[in-house]
């Protein structure tokens, strides 16, 4: 999104993103802590580099460790690298997958090392956004056909004589370079390098009334802080993005889903049942992500707070009644 931050708050998410952007490979790991593993065994969760995913993983890891006694290990890996771990047994689950039909074909259909697990309950949106002040001053800017009229406003030292379209981490799901070319827009895609840097750029653009056009997505806690406005691209129709080089339509709506290793699924067990049953809302994810990114809580503390306040949902994942 991939699929794919903020003054002092920037430090909180930067710590998360730094690990994921440091070139980690399958085999690198950091212990998530908790649980003796007697009833559940080892449980390896891939962590992709955005805070919404970290929120998913924090809650699942906390429940697995405290309720099921799993020996949880979190592994900071970019999206495709995480999928490579299914075949080696080093990754049991990817908890938030944004589309990736190419990876599904490779690892599920062809190599048969992974399986589909079902929806997370989150609805994902990817697109181009501008800060709210720009829509107030330039009401027609949310129509992509008018972007070239304003291209001069978006020029930067990195984009040269073209307007800048700022993307995040290069590993995120993006069609932006093809879209700019195929829609005939006088823009150049420039990468901020991380989710944290992209968010900080949008924050500063709104604060300083600085022109900015950037890639962004939902669910995302930052939209509770700054109500970014989405640009209308040509409507998505099934198949319009089948050829990556010819894409000239908006991103599809994403029913975010979970992917697990076939070995992990075939073995069954408490952690597998938890992954199958894990389902929550965009609001749930945004709240936990806010605890981590804005309130500077550790992922474990953020998960503990959410679990305590939402015990009925957790008990449903565990197939038991609330006490």
Do residues 3 and 287 lie in contact, with contact meaning Cβ atoms separated by under 8 Å?
Answer: no
pLDDT of residue 320: 79
Helices (H), 183-297: 195-207, 262-267, 270-277, 282-293
pLDDT of residue 39: 72
Q: Is residue 193 part of a domain?
A: yes
Same domain? For 20 and 108 the reply is yes
Do residues 80 and 97 lie in contact, with contact meaning Cβ atoms separated by under 8 Å?
Answer: no
Q: CATH number for the domain including 150? A: 3.40.190.100
Q: Is residue 120 part of a domain?
A: yes
Same domain? For 285 and 224 the reply is no
Q: Exposed, middle or buried, 167 (CB in 10 Å: 0-12/13-18/19+)?
A: buried
List the chain residues with pLDDT less than 50: 2-38, 323
Boundary of a domain, candidates 193, 212, 246: 246
Reading the block at residue 16, the tokens are 């998360």
pLDDT of residue 285: 95
Q: Is residue 140 part of a domain?
A: yes
d(CA 250, CA 150): 20
What phi and psi, each to the nearest 5 degrees, are found at residue 30? -140, 135
pLDDT of residue 268: 94
Q: Exposed, middle or buried, 156 (CB in 10 Å: 0-12/13-18/19+)?
A: middle
Separation of first and last alpha carbons in the chain: 38
Q: Is residue 119 part of a domain?
A: yes
Q: Which residue reads 């992209």 in tokens? A: 198
Neighbouring C-beta atoms of residue 137, cutoff 10 Å: 10
Q: CATH number for the domain including 56? A: 3.40.190.10
- How does pLDDT run across 24-68, given as a tens digit for each residue? 444 443 444 444 444 799 999 999 999 999 999 999 999 999 999
Full domain range(s) for residue 176: 128-246
Do residues 277 and 319 lie in contact, with contact meaning Cβ atoms separated by under 8 Å?
Answer: yes
Do residues 117 and 204 lie in contact, with contact meaning Cβ atoms separated by under 8 Å?
Answer: no
Same domain? For 61 and 134 the reply is no
d(CA 187, CA 211): 14
Q: Is residue 229 part of a domain?
A: yes
In 3D, which of 102, 84, 111 has the Cα closest to residue 24?
84
Boundary of a domain, candidates 246, 262, 284: 246
Q: Is residue 3 part of a domain?
A: no
Boundary of a domain, candidates 246, 263, 281: 246
- The structure's pTM equals 0.77
Counting every residue, how long is the chain?
Answer: 323
């Amino acid at each position: 999104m991939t699929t794919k931050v903020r003054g002092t708050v920037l430090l909180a998410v930067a710590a998360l993103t730094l690990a994921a952007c440091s070139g980690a490979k399958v085999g690198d790991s950091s212990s998530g802590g908790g649980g003796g593993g007697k009833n559940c065994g080892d449980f390896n969760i891939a962590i992709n580099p955005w805070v919404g995913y970290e929120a998913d993983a924090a809650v699942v890891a906390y429940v697995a460790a405290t309720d099921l006694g799993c020996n949880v290990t979190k592994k900071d890996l970019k999206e495709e690298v995480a999928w490579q771990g299914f075949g080696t047994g080093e990754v049991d689950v990817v908890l938030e997958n944004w589309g990736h039909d190419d990876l599904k074909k490779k690892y599920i259909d062809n190599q048969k090392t992974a399986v589909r697990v079902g929806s997370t309950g989150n609805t994902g949106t990817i697109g181009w956004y501008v800060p709210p002040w720009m829509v107030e001053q330039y009401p027609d800017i949310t129509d992509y056909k008018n972007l070239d009229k304003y291209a001069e406003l978006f020029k930067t030292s990195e984009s040269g004589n073209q307007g800048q379209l700022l993307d995040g981490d290069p590993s995120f799901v993006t069609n932006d370079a093809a879209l700019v070319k195929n829609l005939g827009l006088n823009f150049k895609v420039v990468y901020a390098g991380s989710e944290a840097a992209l968010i900080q750029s949008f924050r500063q653009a709104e604060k300083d009334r600085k022109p900015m056009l950037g890639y962004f997505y939902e669910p995302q806690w930052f939209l509770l802080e700054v109500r970014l406005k989405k640009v209308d691209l040509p409507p998505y129709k099934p198949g319009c993005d089948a050829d990556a080089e010819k894409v000239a339509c908006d991103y599809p709506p994403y029913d975010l889903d979970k992917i697990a290793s076939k070995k992990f699924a075939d073995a069954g067990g408490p952690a597998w049942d938890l992954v199958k049953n894990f389902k929550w809302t965009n609001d749930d994810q945004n709240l936990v992500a806010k605890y981590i990114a804005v309130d500077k809580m550790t992922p474990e503390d953020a998960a503990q707070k959410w679990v305590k306040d939402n015990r009925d949902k957790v008990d449903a994942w565990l197939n038991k009644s609330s006490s």
